[in-house]
Amino acid sequence: MSTVEKYLKPAVIRQISRLDLRAQFIVKGFLQGLHASPFHGFSVEFSEHRKYTPGDNPDNIDWLVYAKTDKYYVKKFEAETNLTGYLVMDLSASMAYTYRQELSKFEYSICLAAALCYLMIHQNDPVGLITFGEKIVDSLAPKSKRQQIGNILSHLAKLQPRDKTDLGRSLGQLAAMLRHSSLIMLFSDLLGDPDETIAALRQLRHGGHDVILFHVLDQAEVEFPFAGLVELTDPESHTSLEVNADAYRTDYLAEMAEFRRRYQRECRQSGMDYVPLDTSMRFDHALTEYLVNRRNRG
């Protein structure tokens, strides 16, 4: 992991190293056990099996698994066991924002991406990287080898959020690029036109892709801890507005809650996962909780 250490700041390296152990625990506890995968719906039920469905050859039922789970599973062929994942990262200027947190929204997303990259590679699933601002900026082709974790992290660590965002256009480009059903893991603060973003997310879903939307906000954006007169600046347009925080707080919090509820509602209706996060949450705990909840839903 020397390439990671070369590029990532010490605070992030420490969290990644702790996360490495946490990810190993997740892999051993969930993916090697006789339970539904935490990635229910897009990855393997467990490494070499899937649930029996009408039309499957009964000769392929694994009776040892049945004895342990009281459910019918069939052994899978190699071609069925791999899934291609893409970590899709928002490079918009707003992702650089942090208010009294150790990590910016972008750095927090890097940590989450590291964990998911690790988990997929330990399932022998190839994972790649897409970054975007107003359009797709660059990409790394999916690979399933261990060094891909370092490749992805060192690439992300060299990037700085800098661009304006066009989420709808970028996700539309992504949908046009992908030739096979994939897992899309999107990391964004979603600060753009929600109508266009939701339409593009639906396009991805209709294309047969599974989508996990990690909605990453700074704690201050969620809780609005300001008081008195404050100057709010849009990081992309650089326009500023002076407001009385005490008078504005109630309206702001109501709008923010509705903003998140809308994405949650739309994702549920379209069969996507919506994961609301803020940068005060330990990202390894947040990810573990999400994986447990996803497994339990299965």
pLDDT at 12: 59
* Phi–psi pair at 87, nearest 5 degrees: -85, 120
pLDDT at 33: 37
pLDDT at 121: 82
In a domain, residue 167? The reply is yes
Cα distance between the two ends of the chain: 34
pLDDT greater than 60 at residue 185: yes
Using one digit for the tens of pLDDT, what is the confidence trace for 15-36?
555 555 555 554 444 444 323 4
CA-to-CA separations, 76 to 48, 50, 60, 65, 298, in angstroms, rounded: 5, 7, 9, 13, 19
pLDDT greater than 50 at residue 163: yes
In a domain, residue 43? The reply is no
Average pLDDT over residues 263-288: 88
Average pLDDT over residues 218-233: 92
User: Which of 65-69, 90-94, 222-226 is predicted with the least confidence, judged by mean pLDDT?
Assistant: 65-69
- Write down the mean pLDDT value for the chain: 80
In a domain, residue 126? The reply is yes
Average pLDDT over residues 132-142: 94
In a domain, residue 275? The reply is yes
The CATH number of the domain holding residue 218 is: 3.40.50.410
How many domains are there within the chain? Answer: 1
- Letter for the amino acid at 235? P
pLDDT at 34: 26
Q: In terms of C-beta density within 10 A (0-12 exposed, 13-18 middle, 19 or more buried), how is residue 154 classed?
A: middle
Query: Between 32 and 182, where is the model more confident?
Result: 182
pLDDT greater than 90 at residue 100: no
Average pLDDT over residues 132-136: 94
pLDDT at 237: 77
Letter string b/e over residues 42-51, b meaning 16 or more CB atoms within 10 A of that residue's CB: bbbbbebbbe
Percent of the chain with pLDDT over 70: 78
Average pLDDT over residues 85-100: 94
Q: CA 199 from chain center: how many Å?
A: 19
Query: Between 83 and 46, where is the model more confident?
Result: 83
In a domain, residue 162? The reply is yes
In a domain, residue 39? The reply is no
pLDDT at 30: 41
pLDDT greater than 50 at residue 276: yes
Structure tokens at 174: 């992504």
In a domain, residue 268? The reply is yes
pTM of the model: 0.77
What is the C-alpha to C-alpha distance for residues 143 and 10, in angstroms, rounded to an integer? Answer: 27
Structure tokens at 152: 């992805």
In a domain, residue 148? The reply is yes
Contacts of 65 (CB under 8 A, 6+ apart): 34, 49, 71, 73
Query: Between 5 and 104, where is the model more confident?
Result: 104
pLDDT greater than 90 at residue 233: no
Average pLDDT over residues 123-139: 92
Longest dimension (CA), the chain: 72
Q: Which domain holds residue 247?
A: 82-292
- Pairing between strand 73-75 and 49-51? antiparallel
